[in-house]
């Protein structure tokens, strides 16, 4: 069985400051991990993915995440937050077969001007 824990339900940052969204996972397999962003009343947009290649993954919009197997973590970071980054972020782990996804509880990011 697999599970995902997002350690913060809400994160508030000032525009131009770094953003850190924390994610820990458990999986019986070598996992594939994803970060998705969801804006209000919208579907999910893929930010980045880890699929057993480089442990530091760069995504869209300046986001990146580092896979740390020893810590079972996949934290998402961005050096400088923009107002448009205000949204809900989901850390997701994928089963080895079948592409079935398990979602974290989500982290809502608020960006203050």
> What is the binding site for another protein (CB under 8 A)?
32, 34, 36, 41-46, 49, 51, 90, 94, 96-101, 103-106, 108
Say how far apart CA 48 and CA 53 lie, in whole Å.
13
Q: Which of 46, 80 has the CB closer to another protein? A: 46
Q: Which of 56, 97 has the CB closer to another protein? A: 97
Tokens of 86: 């205000």
CB of 57 to another protein, least distance (A): 12
CB of 80 to another protein, least distance (A): 25
Tokens of 16: 């131009």
Tell the burial category of 100 from Cβ atoms under 10 Å away from its Cβ (0-12, 13-18, 19+). Answer: exposed
Q: Which of 9, 113 has the CB closer to another protein? A: 9
Number of Cβ within 10 Å of residue 35's Cβ equals 27
């Amino acid at each position: 069985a697999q599970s995902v824990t997002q350690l913060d339900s809400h994160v508030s940052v000032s525009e131009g400051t770094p953003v850190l969204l924390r994610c820990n996972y458990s999986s019986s397999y070598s996992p594939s991990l994803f970060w998705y962003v969801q804006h209000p009343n919208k579907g999910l947009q893929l930010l980045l993915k880890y699929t057993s290649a480089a442990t530091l993954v760069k995504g869209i919009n300046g986001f990146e995440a580092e896979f740390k197997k020893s810590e079972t973590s996949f934290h998402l970071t961005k050096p400088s937050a923009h107002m448009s980054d205000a949204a809900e972020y989901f850390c997701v782990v994928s089963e080895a077969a079948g592409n079935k996804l398990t979602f974290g509880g989500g982290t809502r990011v608020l960006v203050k001007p």
